[in-house]
Structure 1
Amino acid sequence: MRSNTSISLLAIGHACVDVYQGAVASLVPFFVAERAYGYATVSGMVLAASLLSSVVQPAFGALTDRRAMPWLLPVSTLLGGAGVALSGVSGSYGLTVLFVAISGVGVAAYHPESARVARIAGQGRHSAMGWFSTGGNLGFALAPLMVGAVVGAGGLRLTPLLALPALVGSVLCLPVLRALGPRQAAGTAVAGPAETDDRASFVKLSLAVACRSIVFVGLSAFLSLYARQRMGGSTAVGTVALFVLYLGGAVGSVLGGTLAGRWGRVAVARWSYLITIGAVAGVVFVPGPALYLFVALTSAGLYVPFSLQVTLGQDYLPSRVGTASGITLGLAVSVGGLASPAIGSLADATSLRTALAPLILMPALCWLLFRTLPEPTAPRLAAGPHPNTDDATDATDATPSSTQKSGQR
């Protein structure tokens, strides 16, 4: 199987998993409408999906550093889908939170191992990781459309139909795992020892990832409701706003890889977060249909650094690629849920606009942290033939240029 084919299948599988992270936020307006939940109550569901994912994701990453577990890809995909599928069939809030939490565990288990497999299948190329990340971002973007079409048509009782992407994703990853074969067990060994790890830079990067997550998940949870408040109209108004927020991921990750090839990953991420400060302020304070424009700018600003942060984490922590992937790829879309209850409680006490205003500070903190980060040199992958040795044109991404010692893939 060619490398590009493997990455394409993995990217689609990634979309089939991350659609369930977007689905949780997309279901919020329907829980409010059908069950009369308050802001703080629905934010508890977002917390349930995010908390377990935040806690267990680095643990799964550490496990994959010790031992390859390719079977996690299909199993975790099915688990993520099952939780969301069951979330709407029970009128009990406790069971709903439990099912959403189960989905979060499935998503958490998927990301570290899938990032490791994608690193092998793509021969360490940054463009390959960019396309893999784009798959997940597309899943986010499609979530509100999928939920709107299914649940909007028949209510929460139809959530079992949302299990279909999980079935598709679990099947698509199987031929990739068979094609890679023994290389999975070999892992992604690096040229240097653990002493080459730049732990200080990795901690700073992780803090920036957490700040990005807070603003993204905070907007994901409440943007649909906020758009309806600002512009009026049906749930379609909020669904479109959420779709625009997620759609930026389809362009942002690929654009980030292209820009980073010229200016470096750290510089591109830094400028992206600087632009995002003004974009988030526009979402919160600019009235009318212009809201969609600022949502689009916010989406681009948050997604351009997305895949860059994954490869930066792997290069800052080359001896523990699974752990780095679990934190930067998984934590990036989960830890923000920890702040959702605070946003919901503040919205109940004041207004949703007041509650969203502090999110403007998050990209500013990201910008400050990236100002202190160096551009690392990428480690070599372990020697050995790849199933696609004739993919010479794309393999040039793996070689650093003579004028840029960034190790850009």
Structure 2
Amino acid sequence: MRRNTSIALLAVGHACVDIYQGAVAALIPYFTAERDYTYAVASGIVLAASLLSSVAQPVFGALTDRWAMPWLLPVSTLLAGVGIALSGLSGSYGLTLCFVAVSGVGVAAYHPESARVARLAGEGSHRAMSWFSLGGNIGFALAPLMVSAAIGHGSLHWTPVLVLPALAGTALCVPVLRMLARPRTGTAGAEAPRSADDVASFVKLSLAVVFRSVVFTGLSTFIALHAQQRMQGSTTAGTVALFLLFLGGAVGSLLGGALAHRYGRVRVCRWSCLLSVPAVTGVMYAPGPAVFLFVALTSAGLYVPFSLQVTLGQDYLPSRIGTASGIVLGLTVSIGGLVTPLLGHLADTTDLRTALTLLIAMPALSWLLFRALPEPTAPELRADPPAQAGTARSVPS
């Protein structure tokens, strides 16, 4: 019961934080409409959210390998929400970038520690990690709906309303912290020896995550504008497309956890990447409303490997679980954000569909890398020595 409660609370907290990752993309159409931003300038907002996160997330991961920092869960949740809440209040592009970057740091601080705790709370279970990932997917899916409800009929000055999920997530962290403060014998994971690390495989996995990140972040940034163009300028079409892109991730994450138990993580990741190629092609070229079907298929295909990539990274670097989590989770939202300004510039000089067509190659490159990866054996989560049972490294069972 305690294990299930811990995973459930972590999943809800993950949803509250990832609302703010999805909110950045959901705000792009409002920034372009209200402030007349070009594609390149608007994509710079995504870059601001991603740039600090790409650097900070592995740093926080390395820190959590040395010290458990459960207090980061509520603090980072609040920071992520405050940054987005303030992003629409000033007409200054520089201040907007600053506030969005603050939100990105909050997101970066949250993920390595929460992923480390989720792995140990779920006792290394792929299904437990998929439920934890599901929370983030739900947060992504809710983001465009919440942004539309908050400012869809007003202006960007309503963004302070978007702090509410952060307040709720911060409050929900309290029972998690209480559980972390009550260690139980045999529940804290001992570090594996560094000789067990498979650095070469981890590097290949990280590159595969980069390519997956580029296609997902590129679509999440521009899919609303793309759908609007395909559906005669309907803003509703853009909101629906973004919602489907994020919601399909919920299905993909749970499906990935279930399939991995039967077929293995690497094999499932390999096939999902391969099947994503025609799905992304359909998003670009399917006629009329059929684009929504391909958006959903693309989302599911891109998210089947999501939680599996996290546990694969942790198993390739068993002595540095926090670092592995920070790099894998950080790359999924950060490197793609670094590429989006290039897509935006290309869209400004050609057209949006031409720029997004380049994304079709990304899942194919991920597939090639997964073909070279072995299926690792998950290390057993062993207990810390009794003398360490009351230290900060304790986590829930």
The reply to whether TM is greater than 0.5 is yes
Measured in 2, the distance between the counterparts of 1:325 and 1:232 equals 42
Q: Provide the residue aligned with 1:392 in structure 2.
A: none
SS at structure 1 position matched to 2:152: helix
Residue-by-residue CA offset, 1:315-336 (whole Å, 9 max, x unaligned)? 0000000001111123212220
Measured in 2, the distance between the counterparts of 1:182 and 1:126 equals 25
- Taking the TM superposition and a 5 Å limit, the aligned residue runs for 1:343-362 are 343-362=343-362
**Alignment RMSD:** 1.6
Q: Provide the residue aligned with 1:188 in structure 2.
A: 189
**Closer, same or farther in 2 for the Cα pair 1:50/1:378, shift >3 Å?**
same
Q: Provide the residue aligned with 1:27 in structure 2.
A: 27
Segment drifting more, 282-291 vs 180-189? 180-189
Residue-by-residue CA offset, 1:341-370 (whole Å, 9 max, x unaligned)? 000000000000110011011000000000
Residue-by-residue CA offset, 1:204-253 (whole Å, 9 max, x unaligned)? 00000111000000000000000000111431110000000000111111
Residue-by-residue CA offset, 1:84-129 (whole Å, 9 max, x unaligned)? 0000010111000000000000000000001111122222222111
- Taking the TM superposition and a 5 Å limit, the aligned residue runs for 1:1-400 are 2-181=2-181, 183=183, 188-190=189-191, 192-383=192-383
Residue-by-residue CA offset, 1:33-92 (whole Å, 9 max, x unaligned)? 111111001000000001111111101000000111111000000000000000001011
AA aligned to 1:188 is: G
Contact kept? 2:83, 2:99, Cα under 8 Å? yes
Measured in 2, the distance between the counterparts of 1:47 and 1:352 equals 18
Measured in 1, the distance between the counterparts of 2:331 and 2:138 equals 18
Contact kept? 1:269, 1:308, Cα under 8 Å? yes
Measured in 1, the distance between the counterparts of 2:354 and 2:341 equals 14
TM-score in terms of structure 1 length: 0.92
How big is the shift at 1:384?
6.5
Measured in 1, the distance between the counterparts of 2:296 and 2:156 equals 29
Contact kept? 2:205, 2:309, Cα under 8 Å? yes
Measured in 1, the distance between the counterparts of 2:81 and 2:172 equals 15
How big is the shift at 1:183?
4.4
SS at structure 2 position matched to 1:365: helix
User: Tell me, which stretches of 5 or more residues in structure 2 are unaligned?
Assistant: 386-396
SS at structure 2 position matched to 1:252: helix
Measured in 2, the distance between the counterparts of 1:184 and 1:150 equals 43
Measured in 2, the distance between the counterparts of 1:295 and 1:231 equals 14
Q: Provide the residue aligned with 1:391 in structure 2.
A: none
Measured in 1, the distance between the counterparts of 2:277 and 2:189 equals 36
* Percent of paired sites with the same residue: 72
Q: Provide the residue aligned with 2:391 in structure 1.
A: none
Q: Provide the residue aligned with 1:389 in structure 2.
A: none
AA aligned to 1:128 is: A
SS at structure 2 position matched to 1:154: coil
Measured in 2, the distance between the counterparts of 1:134 and 1:47 equals 25
Contact kept? 1:120, 1:183, Cα under 8 Å? no
User: Tell me, which stretches of 5 or more residues in structure 1 are unaligned?
Assistant: 386-397, 399-409
AA aligned to 1:51 is: L
Contact kept? 2:310, 2:325, Cα under 8 Å? yes
How big is the shift at 1:184?
10
Measured in 2, the distance between the counterparts of 1:308 and 1:132 equals 11
**Number of residue equivalences:** 385
Measured in 2, the distance between the counterparts of 1:200 and 1:6 equals 33
Measured in 2, the distance between the counterparts of 1:296 and 1:188 equals 38
Measured in 1, the distance between the counterparts of 2:247 and 2:24 equals 16
